[in-house]
Amino acid sequence: MSDEMDLLAVLQHDIAERLRPVCGAMPEIDFQQLVRDIAAVKLKYGVEAELSAAFRERLTSAIGERPNHSSAEAS
């Protein structure tokens, strides 16, 4: 469960960084809820397919282990 929470935190940070410029006028509480919802969906439905290779590397470094990327390695 800890790895999943670490992954969720990293996803939330990345999503917030990318969305902040376009959601600047949004109330902070609403923005944080949007970020949490997006991260939860990505985590639930397999975030690996949508991540760039560079972000996958940062992500795996942040959680301290390499997730199974069998579909990414096959291509």
Residue-wise pLDDT for 22-61, tens only, equals 999 999 999 999 999 998 888 777 765 556 666 666 766 6
| Cβ-proximal residues to 74 (8 Å cutoff; 6+ apart), any chain | none
Burial profile 20-56: b = 16 or more Cβ within 10 angstroms, e = fewer: eeeeeeeeeeebeeebeebbeebeeeebeeebeeeeb
The better pLDDT of the pair 58, 65 is held by 58
pLDDT at residue 66 greater than cutoff 50:
no
Structure tokens at 2: 């800890």
Nearest CA-CA partner of 10 in 43, 32, 33: 43
Q: Looking at residue 65, what is its pLDDT?
A: 53
